[in-house]
Chains A and B, each alone.
Chain A
Amino acid sequence: MNTPVDDLLLANVSRRHFLKGLAAGSALVLAARWDLALGEEEKEYGADAMPHGWVDDPNVFIRIDADGTVTVTNHRAEMGQGIRTSLVMVAADELGADWDRVRVEQAPADQEKYGNQNTDGSRSMRHWFAPIRRAGAAARMMLERAAAERWGVPASECHARVHAVVHAASGRELGFGDLAAAARELSVPPRERLELKPQSEWRYIGEDAGPAYDVKRGSVVRPKAIDGEDIVTGQAVYGADVAFEDMLYAVVARPPVYGAMLRSVDDGEALKVPGVLRTVEIDGTGQPAGFKPLGGVAVVAENTWAAIQGRKALKIDWNLESAGDNAAYDSKAYRKQLQQTARAPGKVIRDEGDIESALADAAERVSATYYMPHMAQAPMEPPVAVARIVNGRAEVWAPVQNPGATRSGVAKRLGLEPEDVTVNVTLLGGGFGRKSKPDFAQEAASLTKAFDGRPVRVQWTRDDDLHHTYFHAVSVDRLEAGLDADGRALGWRHRTLSPSIGSLFAPDPEHIAPFELGQGFNTMPFDIPAIRLENPEAPAHVRIGWFRSVYNLPHAFAIQSFAAELAEAAGRDHRDYLLELLGPSREIDPRTFGDQWNYGENPERYPIDIGRMRAVIEKATAEAGWGRDLPKGRGLGLAVHNSFVSYTAVVFDVELGDGGGLIIHSADIAFDCGPQVNPERIRAQLEGACVMGIGIAMQSEITFSEGRVQQDNFHQYLVPRIDRAPRETRVHLINPDSEAAIGGVGEPGLPPVAPALCNAIHAATGRRIRRLPVGDQLSA
């Protein structure tokens, strides 16, 4: 199928209005919306607004061989969210392919060809369901037309069934493989004539065989995960598994403090380590770092172990002056500094009603300050990349969430055009936002250049990962509320303080950016007469970067903890009180809160839906048996949060064991992300987010002293192990057939977990946790 898609169809106006219509799901609705939308002049949203937008050309994504093998190209990074399976399910279903004859090919970085490839923000299915569906439908129609021409019958009489096109009247049938060559010569049907399958004919999309964790259930009928077999037999290829015969192995000694530079290095001892070949200086980039390497000294060797040993033997003199006050950064002192700053007003973000009199006139005033520390994403596969240069063209293999930025960054570093750089995206051994920042790929590029193009693999050790990641922003949130005599909230003041990711790309703004405020801060939906939201300044002293669900973490922790504190002050049941704070079901345009961002989505299609928020609370609490009698020392805790245009509520059932240990009996998670493509993978994401969130609540913390990270490895940076996982985790998916627009899945499960757990701890023990992680606070 090589016919280029009609360029006219790619004209901007058609593109963006077409997409908007399609998400409604049926061709009929589509046509109606299409008319409606034309002539409207408005801001672009969703996939339309992303760099390089979307592509729905079947020739780009679907190939059918003569033997009938269907190859779907997946252009989004796979990091455990299952997109290689789920997006391929969409294409295969619309095409009418038999799952057992479908394979997937991973696209290299090429956003001009494939559209946007930046895999973060829980966007893959939200932005790509419609285009990939269209690609599948177009390919199916081309096969049907090829069959019609072969048989000399009207195309309308030919229908794709499972992996074959059938002419019912004559009983003739031709397999996809038999038709592939002819179909390839045909033009791609124009978008407005695509016939999308009605939902009733889907065989894979939305197929739900029930939770896989139900051990007693019989055979499993849903499509098998694409990489499942390869993973359990050790055949799956991650970044560190790419190797070449003459490849060299490198580790890098990086500046211990953000902004420090290499002054001098003595590599005499390092070069004596057997297997070590050379050391190479990597240019430092100072601040702001962006996605550029931190610089330092690479030890290049014949194998990884020799490189690690060689690095230990380096004697390096770092210039700390260039780091400025980062060299004095102390996270404990910084917490105090933020707490102090939080006492005074800051930049006003939202101001409704008269907060001063609401607080002054209150029958009861409640205030609390919450703290969440720096954290490291710590994907199980630390950053790693392989690069080589052949005939002036660079080639990179790396586990990156952002292939486009990897390509442009490597090109710039090597002085090449992006067209002369190929970035092959391997499987990611976890991402969680770390691998959105491809600094490690640029390191590999510099090193292969130093060796005249010979392949070099740069491997980050776990120490490197913890010391030099882009850290989750530390945060202080100070809240104050005034209640009337009946316990109703009259006024709500919230100050949030954390360094901004903006500091990574520009001089430190010291205030969080709109896309950070919009992560649950200015979008706080409580129905309270007086609301004042402020953002006092907080300077950055380390590289700050995305961590799964990002600023939603501190905002949800503070707001959902504080709501429970208010319920307690009011002497009310927490669930009832939370529902009252939310107020009646209604749709709120986030722009009325000053949030123009809305995760990049159209605020009319993706309003803040209080009804859906209430529904997840009601579902999670009902399933958890909210209100039941519990023995002393045991309690239920609840939290809700909307993020990435999805809705999550969590209820934990916990008990304080002997010796202060916390027993987590169960988690009930209600989740509404709108229509679900792969329900089983959605459940898996929610289960994983639940346990990761338990780790955030209980144990994960990165601290700094003199600008240096104090945790070296997993014995000090604690992440949850199997015994932290609740014995019962029940994920309740809401609204599977809804007409709502698709929401995110990878991230929205995380933010409510820590506050739900801390609220449960309070219910069980009477102790209110305001500083994370819990650590030993329960035994103290």
Chain B
Amino acid sequence: MSITLKVNGKTHSVDVDADTPLLWVLRDELRLTGTKYGCGISQCGACTVHLDGSPTRSCVLPVQSVGDRSVTTIEGLESPAAAAVQKAWAEMDVPQCGYCQSGQVMSAVGLLEQTPQPDDDAIDGAMRGNVCRCATYQRIRAAIHRAAGELEA
């Protein structure tokens, strides 16, 4: 069936089964491959996108239930918090293999937009859903602090 979607500020019309998770629509239909598959059951966070600004696991979100909410993927991320997070990530060499990092960045931006100065507990709480098998967690924490500092300045 034909479904209309607003992704990164652009309206797309896709012809897919209504139950198809948003993840596969982004990846297979729209070729927005920055959003990754890691588990398919909301356990790893690799597929995190923003739905009207809040971090959401796209692997368990049927595309028909997106409605007219706007979807932002890593490719369309644009905000002061996003810029600060991406800069801190690159400067502190957070990524190792990098596969999980789109999801990590989406979650971190979501966190800073809600909680501008999170402490370690708040970071762990917000980022717990994002698995990094390379285990870049120490740097993720540090980079969030750094981005928070930059946003405050």
Interface residues of A (CB under 8 A from B): 78-82, 212-215, 220, 224-225, 227-238, 240-241, 243, 249, 274-275, 303-306, 308, 378-382, 427-432, 459, 461-462, 680-681, 684-685, 687-692, 695, 713-715, 719-727, 729
Question: Is B128 on the interface with A (CB-CB < 8 A)?
Answer: yes
Q: Is B93 touching A212 in the complex (CB atoms < 8 A)?
A: yes
Which residues of B lie under 8 Å from residue A224 when comparing CB positions? 90
> In the complex, A367 Cα to B39 Cα: how many Å?
42
Question: Is B57 on the interface with A (CB-CB < 8 A)?
Answer: no
Q: A231-B98, A234-B102, A722-B130 are in contact. Are A241 and B120 (CB under 8 A)?
A: no
Question: Is B21 on the interface with A (CB-CB < 8 A)?
Answer: yes
Question: How far, in Å, is B135 (CB) from chain A's closest CB?
Answer: 3
Q: Is A213 touching B128 in the complex (CB atoms < 8 A)?
A: no
Which residues of A lie under 8 Å from residue B39 when comparing CB positions? 462, 713-714
Which residues of A lie under 8 Å from residue B128 when comparing CB positions? 721-723
Q: Is A727 touching B120 in the complex (CB atoms < 8 A)?
A: yes
Q: Is B24 touching A305 in the complex (CB atoms < 8 A)?
A: yes
Q: Is A81 touching B96 in the complex (CB atoms < 8 A)?
A: yes
> In the complex, A224 Cα to B87 Cα: how many Å?
12
Which residues of A lie under 8 Å from residue B129 when comparing CB positions? 721
Which residues of A lie under 8 Å from residue B34 when comparing CB positions? 233-235
Q: A213-B142, A305-B17, A715-B41 are in contact. Are A692 and B97 (CB under 8 A)?
A: no
Q: Is B149 touching A215 in the complex (CB atoms < 8 A)?
A: yes
Question: How far, in Å, is A254 (CB) from chain B's closest CB?
Answer: 17
Q: Is B133 touching A380 in the complex (CB atoms < 8 A)?
A: yes
> In the complex, A431 Cα to B99 Cα: how many Å?
11
- The CB with the most chain A CB atoms within 10 A, among B28, B135, B140, B142, is that of B135
Q: Is A236 touching B96 in the complex (CB atoms < 8 A)?
A: no
> In the complex, A462 Cα to B99 Cα: how many Å?
14
Which residues of A lie under 8 Å from residue B145 when comparing CB positions? 215
Which residues of A lie under 8 Å from residue B94 when comparing CB positions? 232
Within 8 A of A (CB), among B15-36: 16-17, 20-21, 24, 27-29, 31-36
> In the complex, A688 Cα to B28 Cα: how many Å?
31
Number of B residues whose C-beta is below 8 Å from A? 65
Q: A303-B24, A684-B93 are in contact. Are A241 and B33 (CB under 8 A)?
A: yes
**Closest B residue, CB atoms, query A381:** B99
Question: Is B55 on the interface with A (CB-CB < 8 A)?
Answer: no
> In the complex, A688 Cα to B95 Cα: how many Å?
11
- The CB with the most chain B CB atoms within 10 A, among A241, A714, A724, A729, is that of A714
Question: B-side binding surface: helix, strand, loop or mixed?
Answer: loop
Q: A305-B20, A722-B127 are in contact. Are A232 and B28 (CB under 8 A)?
A: no
Which residues of B lie under 8 Å from residue A432 when comparing CB positions? 133
Partner pick for A429 among B36, B77, B139, B141, CB 8 A cutoff: B36
> In the complex, A459 Cα to B134 Cα: how many Å?
21
Q: A215-B146, A275-B17, A380-B46 are in contact. Are A690 and B135 (CB under 8 A)?
A: yes
Within 8 A of A (CB), among B91-135: 91-102, 105, 120, 123-124, 127-135
Q: A212-B139, A232-B89, A713-B41 are in contact. Are A82 and B133 (CB under 8 A)?
A: no
Q: A306-B17, A459-B37 are in contact. Are A722 and B93 (CB under 8 A)?
A: no
Question: 15 A–B contact pairs at CB < 8 A?
Answer: A82-B96, A212-B92, A213-B138, A235-B75, A241-B33, A249-B28, A430-B97, A431-B97, A459-B37, A462-B40, A687-B136, A687-B138, A721-B131, A722-B128, A723-B128
| Given A213-B139, A462-B44, 8 more pairs with CB closer than 8 A | A212-B91, A231-B101, A232-B95, A462-B39, A684-B96, A692-B133, A722-B127, A722-B128
Q: Is A274 touching B17 in the complex (CB atoms < 8 A)?
A: yes
Which residues of B lie under 8 Å from residue A214 when comparing CB positions? 142
Which residues of A lie under 8 Å from residue B140 when comparing CB positions? 722
> In the complex, A224 Cα to B28 Cα: how many Å?
32
Question: How far, in Å, is B152 (CB) from chain A's closest CB?
Answer: 13
> In the complex, A378 Cα to B131 Cα: how many Å?
11
**Closest B residue, CB atoms, query A728:** B138
Question: How far, in Å, is B10 (CB) from chain A's closest CB?
Answer: 16
Q: Is B138 touching A725 in the complex (CB atoms < 8 A)?
A: yes
Which residues of B lie under 8 Å from residue A303 when comparing CB positions? 16, 20, 24, 28-29
Q: Is A232 touching B90 in the complex (CB atoms < 8 A)?
A: yes
Q: Is A238 touching B99 in the complex (CB atoms < 8 A)?
A: yes
Q: Is B149 touching A380 in the complex (CB atoms < 8 A)?
A: no
Partner pick for A688 among B96, B98, B105, CB 8 A cutoff: B96
Which residues of A lie under 8 Å from residue B95 when comparing CB positions? 80, 225, 227-228, 231-232
> In the complex, A727 Cα to B141 Cα: how many Å?
9
Which residues of B lie under 8 Å from residue A685 when comparing CB positions? 96
Question: Is B11 on the interface with A (CB-CB < 8 A)?
Answer: no
> In the complex, A303 Cα to B134 Cα: how many Å?
29
Within 8 A of A (CB), among B77-92: 77, 85-86, 89-92
Question: How far, in Å, is A377 (CB) from chain B's closest CB?
Answer: 8
Q: Is B138 touching A681 in the complex (CB atoms < 8 A)?
A: no
Partner pick for A428 among B46, B74, B97, CB 8 A cutoff: B97
Q: Which 5 A-B pairs have the closest CB atoms?
A: A234-B34, A429-B99, A80-B97, A80-B96, A234-B74
Q: A234-B75, A305-B24 are in contact. Are A427 and B98 (CB under 8 A)?
A: yes
Q: Is A80 touching B98 in the complex (CB atoms < 8 A)?
A: yes
**Closest A residue, CB atoms, query B35:** A234
Q: A275-B17, A381-B36, A719-B131 are in contact. Are A725 and B141 (CB under 8 A)?
A: yes
Q: A80-B97, A684-B96 are in contact. Are A720 and B33 (CB under 8 A)?
A: no
